[in-house]
Chain A
Amino acid sequence: MVKRGHPPFGIAAVAAAILAVAGTVLVGSAPGASAAVSCDTTNHCYAESVSSGAANYGVYGYVYIGCSYMPDSGSNFVTSEMWDTGSANAYWTEVGVFSGLGDYHSWFWADSRPNGGGFNLHFPNLTAAGTGGTYTIEINYIGSNDWDIYEGNSFTDAGESTAQPPSTSSGTTIAGSEYTANSGFGMRDIGNVAYEEYQNTGGTWHYVGGTAANEDIGTSHYVTSTYDSGTSTIDWTGPC
């Protein structure tokens, strides 16, 4: 087991919280971005860190919920989460907090298994996350194509994904926020995932460190992210 240091929880997150209390609305866009394509259910937008490398046998991190809310329009959502994906996004598992479609800060996990297992989504029997809380989340390969999911307000067993072979060639650790509504819709989204780690095929956990970089995806994205390689932390700031 890797010896771990105290997570200092980034300065950027503190700044984000201050902005949230002040009710500040930040609206940004990529340089040269066009407003032609929206953030919607067809074109999901993301503020996240991405670390691609050797095969993953799990991901781990501390997700902070600064603001996470989506008006219930019947179609939109926002998440704070981590993904563990295999090569070419063929197989993937995700874990985190979901708001929208009548849910508010609901814990969820999902997977995609193109070997006939299809797409699967679960809302486990867990108390909703609180605003301002930091929670531990984990996806862990346990062998025989099975993966354990841990999440919730007290880091509990949330279920098991099955029949999902781990990639033997490459893997990607992703952490951040996904959202489907445009600026002005009423979405709120500030948070971070701190001390992101991945597990190698030998069962050793590593911080993603300098292997990760932030990505703000979506032509009309307006949640902006920063990544700190020193603490393996992705911070994102949107309206609140």
Chain B
Amino acid sequence: MRHITPRWLPRKLRTVTFCAIGASAVVLSAYFATASSATSMTAGSAIPASAAHQLKAAMYQMAKASGDARPTSIQAVLTTRARALQLATPGETVPGSTGQTVYLVVMKGHFTLREVSVPRGGRAPRGHYLSETLNPTTLQPMDIGLRNQASPIPLQSLGPVSNLTRR
């Protein structure tokens, strides 16, 4: 049974701007610093070489932070977020994802996610297949999936695959 939000719920009218000013400046500068020169990219099209180079650097950073600096493989496609979720986080849905273009990156390796929230006493998630969707403009992560089995959905079914693995 869904909880019904009371209509009388008040919003607190507290002004705590002290913290927000500095934080906003940091976030805005970070946003512009990480924004790529991504042009209008279409789901299902190939990832431009310049964008792939930038994406590759970001994903190796991610792989290192996730406990495997030399993953066996890193592959990426440009697709819709809805289709990416079918592979990255099977069965789970996020509203508004159908028309949203994202990078879907799948890495194979030995990963431990220590930089994600878990309940007290919970173990850091571990797995061999780390899938991530990213905003093509900011490269900010939007969804992350980590499991031990590869997805039954072939990555190439979503579009041309860019191999980002270092040789």
A residues with CB within 8 A of B = 1, 4, 6-7, 9, 13-14, 17, 20-21, 23, 41-42, 44, 46, 48, 50, 58, 60, 62, 64, 66-67, 69, 71-72, 74-77, 79, 81, 83, 85, 89, 92, 94, 98-99, 101-104, 108, 110-112, 116-125, 130-134, 136, 138, 140, 142, 148, 150, 155-163, 172, 174, 178, 180, 188, 190, 197, 199, 203-205, 215, 217, 240
B16 interface hit (Cβ, 8 Å): yes
* Nearest-CB residue, chain A, relative to B2: A140
Given A21-B18, A118-B125, A134-B11, also A1-B4 (CB < 8 A): yes
Closest 8 CB pairs of A and B: A118-B147, A119-B125, A162-B91, A203-B1, A41-B114, A120-B89, A131-B20, A67-B19
B154 interface hit (Cβ, 8 Å): no
With A9-B12, A46-B120, A123-B141 already in contact, 4 other A-B pairs whose C-beta atoms are closer than 8 Å: A17-B14, A66-B14, A121-B144, A134-B11
Distance, CA A108 to CA B30, complexed state (A):
19
Contact with A along B135-164 (1 / 0, CB 8 A): 000001111111111000000000000000
Say what secondary structure dominates the interface of chain A: strand
Interface pairs (10), CB distance under 8 Å: A17-B16, A66-B16, A75-B115, A102-B31, A117-B147, A121-B144, A124-B96, A160-B92, A203-B1, A240-B19
Distance, CA A17 to CA B122, complexed state (A):
31
Most buried by A among B2, B17, B90, B144: B2
A39 to chain B, nearest CB (A): 12
A117 to chain B, nearest CB (A): 7
B contact residues around A130 at 8 Å (CB): 20
Given A17-B14, A69-B19, A83-B119, also A120-B94 (CB < 8 A): no
A132 near B14 with CB under 8 A, answer yes
Distance, CA A203 to CA B91, complexed state (A):
24
* Nearest-CB residue, chain A, relative to B8: A6
Most buried by A among B18, B91, B116: B116
B residues with CB within 8 A of A = 1-6, 8-20, 22-24, 26-27, 30-31, 34, 61, 65, 88-97, 100, 113-122, 124-125, 127, 140-149
Distance, CA A62 to CA B12, complexed state (A):
11
Given A89-B121, A123-B142, also A110-B116 (CB < 8 A): yes
Distance, CA A162 to CA B97, complexed state (A):
17
